[in-house]
Structure 1
């Protein structure tokens, strides 16, 4: 008989009984912490579920959540589970088209609206017939506000969901087109949350901070999931301006971030101290320990026993840089489709930096055709909502999920991601180029903040580069010399068909708003290919070109 794992509904019941007076959620508002105990969260979730039933929602109805992370997000999520509804999380930065698509595709009958930066711009995406429910924040006009909902009905009685009931439909971040809705059952999510918490050794004494989008599986599993499975305290961030201060207040035991933010922290540290001075201090015995401790304290991470990084490839040089500060960052790999618990380098092994770790408990990996990574665990999603063909294609005959990632597995079972099946492109030479190995080598250069290698149908692959802030203050000549040398060096390590035509330095920063980055800060390669592909055909012999030079050349011709 298969082992059964407690669902978040059962765990909420249990923690309210065992440590009801203990603080569960800590929400900063106007620089004051507003606390919610386990008993209060239990009561509010059950009252909210009662209100939804009174408003005419029925078990199995789909209800969306559009909000930045906050205590009310957790409470709403739990209320939907308690009431038997299916949650549809939407990224708080999503544009009108994406919000409209997800609401229409999922068939959501209601939407909870919370903390938003662009509420008025997003409001037109919500269909007239969708009931709007407020979470206590200003932004989008709602029919019912948070305090009204909490006073509308008696708390519902607790009913424990079955393992095969659908808990949520999580829409992928859409790096290659419209997002797909991964259907996640209570059994799959509960397994992932339990295994993850056991693997990381989570306890009720732990403190975590929630700031990465809860609409993404990583935050939902690693932070919400581990908090409900492990009974720990969760802090939130009030705003981007207060981020560092909020992390310092939280003083987390476990801190999860993405490569872009770890890079930003690094740049801020170097800007404050100076690179040469920092290197000098870190090479002096005793002093290096004091300096490293001071930096960790300023980041609010002096007591963090686990530091995590995921959601996109990270440079090994960045992880090794943090090791000098006594910060061992665990790289992990997971997907929406496998509940985010898949492979991780924990317990941390320095000799495995560059890998995404080994499979977690009850997780299986193997290589399929052309080195595609295949994955299997009890945490796999059921199907893609309303996409039977895509669902059927997603699994092999043994039930392994076709991840779409290219990988290598070493003798110890540690996995290295080498690219995406769909990212590989064919140049004019008729041979396929894998861009990720090129990007990994180029990413070692500190002048580069973001990069993407494109070149479908072109004579050579070309690296599109967004410069770091420090590099933007250098002269163009200095930057060109450094990047041309880098391009030659990297090309020298590649087969002839994968050598670079050169580097194109782009003008406009890549953001979520201009549709180059997904809400989880992954680069949309197809968007850049479409935008820059027609401009790079002349690039060869490790040229370094600035985008404004291309614009001038186009005008002249």
Structure 2
């Protein structure tokens, strides 16, 4: 198959020229409505080539980098494809990132051009003073004195240059959380992304064509795969106007498949479960319908189940499916679930009861991103599927607990023991940009193989199915699939004068991160908060009015730093005593915070605060 991303899509351009490639939402003239407009593969290629010529003419030659800071639109996709043609690397950035993070990413990557929409242009203006080197701006809409217009860029004219592209050439720099709080730049090559596309080539659907909805942002590695995979297959890709409009735009798309985080499944299944738990006649009928359909799919249905599903039970399930169709359209056949651990019951409900194939997978940005997935070739509830490349489960002492290789079909179970998942294959990143120290921590050379240490705990069974058991490091994902770097938040929240120490906690069962705070008693006493027991330190440390004042301070710092809403504190837990070396909550000598000890010590308070 193809070896570079340009090769990968040129095949589709040649074989599917007249077919629809991408659909983009446009406003209907004289109306408040929006409607999808189609762009054929031939038209997409023409626009790609025009942009590639424009980029090349502006000095973006092989080895250079172009940044993307937009709130959606079709322009990022075109930048990706055009950059692939001329050996330029694309650096997509999250418009909601704090100024400090965006400025670091722009400077660190050394982008010479930054493509912005109107919101991106405004964000750039807010952080411009932080930059050591300001890139050339390209504005996708409207005009600005200090920016080149998109139209001028793509209408520059000329022939598409012939550039030799190697599979090992850099294609993307994707920024992911760093241990210092600032993000690391993952170097993805053409070969990395092509390998991931080829690994799942026939894994989702055999039907042609197939319409997928792009539900993942461009700055996520899964969002990158969400572009290249359907276009390489010759499928139809529907774009959302922006990440914040996914839920409204998907109704207009009515796709046959899309990527999603577990939270959406949890909400639908949670509503069904709530009705069942409410009891009564309707709750009882719903419970019976769901159970009967599950038994039917699993080959354990009796005559009573079949009769019930043929009458009232079938009507009940059809009504649930109809309610879902009101949100995503009536054509949904496949859901690919990732970014956070999913509830197996919710997955099985969609897969077995609603007849929507639901496949959970697992990956990391460093692996392009897919490492394992359930798919047409095998699905096991509660697991993230079989590995797509060679993996091994490694114990703390470095010994191998389990192994899997889809190429040879060899799988060795780790039994009941879990260990860190290591993976090796063509999808593994080249390294972190300009950061050999962090690269050496996660990439391990063994003979002629390079292994990536995921930092996640897994076990593997005799059939090769991998089950997630937790994270080795501190970073965590929330229930909505958003990734949180607690150290970055702690650095921001520590700016509040009332805060002596702050630890940010969260996990995949939570909707928001929780700051655990020890207050600066002296600052508290002069804070002016009414009703504080000034002379009773123990009572002062946990006083509700002080907790609210601390929360207000954290929110103010979050606002100043431009943190997205899911990283802003909804509640705060005030710890009843200071951290100390004696209690083990501070390290000896350097007095660093010990996260695990604090969380274990205050587990009851954490659960109580979350409610």
User: TM-score higher than 0.5 here?
Assistant: yes
Residues 308-366 of structure 1: CA deviation (Å, up to 9, x unaligned)? 1111222334334445433442111000111112111223867x322211112x33333
Where in structure 2 are the equivalents of 1:130-279 lying within 5 Å?
A: 130-136=135-141, 143-159=147-163, 161-174=165-178, 177-201=181-205, 205-221=209-225, 223-238=226-241, 243-266=246-269, 277=282
Q: Which moved more, 1:176-185 or 1:380-389?
A: 176-185
Closer, same or farther: CA 338–180 of 1 in aligned 2, 3 Å? same
Which residue of the partner structure matches residue 7 of structure 1?
A: 4
2:456 to 390, 399, 405: 405
1:329 maps onto 2:362 in alignment? no
For 1:414, the equivalent position in structure 2 comes to 465
- Of 317, 324, 327 in structure 2, the residue corresponding to residue 299 of structure 1 is 327
Aligned residue runs from structure 1 range 367-382, under 5 A: 367-369=394-396, 371-382=419-430
Gaps of 5+ in 1: 426-434, 457-503, 549-557
- 2:126 maps to which of 117, 124, 127: 124
Q: Are residue 338 (structure 1) and residue 367 (structure 2) matched? A: yes
Change (3 A) 1:271 1:50: farther
1:376-408 CA-partner distances (Å, limit 9, x unpaired): 121110011101122122122322111111122
Which of 200-209 and 330-339 deviates more? 200-209
| Residue-pair matches, total | 473
d(CA) in 1 for partners of 2:41 and 2:108?
Answer: 35
User: Which whole-Å CA distance do the structure 2 matches of 1:331 and 1:358 have between them?
Assistant: 10
**RMSD value over aligned CA atoms?**
4.1
For residues 316 and 518 of structure 1, the distance between their equivalents in structure 2, rounded to whole angstroms, comes to 32
Query: How do residues 473-512 of structure 1 correspond to structure 2 at under 5 angstroms?
Result: none
- Per-residue CA deviations over 1:54-80 (Å, capped at 9, x if unaligned) read 222322111101123322211111111
Does the alignment pair 1:88 with 2:91? yes
Deviation at 1:415, TM superposition (A): 1.4
Name which of 261, 286, 289 aligns with 1:281. 286
Q: TM-score, normalised by structure 1?
A: 0.73
Q: For residues 362 and 107 of structure 2, what CA distance do their matches in structure 1 show?
A: 30
> Are the structure 2 counterparts of residues 133 and 92 from structure 1 closer, same or farther at C-alpha, using a change threshold of 3 Å?
same
Question: 2: distance between equivalents of 1:296 and 1:322?
Answer: 10
Q: Secondary structure at the match of 1:422?
A: coil
d(CA) in 2 for partners of 1:110 and 1:310? 32
User: What is the SS of the residue equivalent to 1:319?
Assistant: helix
1:100 is aligned to 2:103: yes
SS at match of 1:87: strand
Deviations 1:32-72 (CA, angstroms, capped at 9, x unpaired): 32332211211111111211222223221111011233222
1:194-243, CA deviations, whole angstroms, 9 ceiling, x for partnerless residues?
2223322466501111132111101111x112123211111112357864
Residue aligning to 1:469: none
Contact map agreement 1:213 1:520 (CA 8 A) in 2? no
| Deviation sequence 1:425-450 (CA, Å, 0-9, x none) | 9xxxxxxxxx99x967xx4xxxx755
Instruction: Tell me, in whole angstroms, the C-alpha distance in 2 between the residues paired with 1:12 and 1:27.
Output: 19
Task: Provide the residue aligned with 1:27 in structure 2.
Answer: 24
CA shift, 1:105, in A, is 0.6
- 2:22/2:38 contact within 8 Å kept: yes
Contact 2:383–2:468 under 8 Å retained in 1: yes
Whole-angstrom distance in 1 between the partners of 2:36 and 2:245: 13
**CA shift in 2, pair 1:108/1:245, >3 Å:** closer
Per-residue CA shift, 1:171-209, capped at 9, x if unaligned?
A: 114587111111111111111122223322466501111
User: 1:17 maps to which residue?
Assistant: 14
Question: Could you say if the C-alpha distance between residues 309 and 164 of structure 1 is closer, same or farther in structure 2, counting changes exceeding 3 Å?
Answer: same
Asked whether the equivalents of residues 203 and 231 of structure 1 are also in contact (C-alpha less than 8 Å), the reply is no
CA 1:546–1:56 in structure 2 vs 1: closer, same or farther (change >3 Å)? Answer: closer
2:300 maps to what in 1? Answer: none
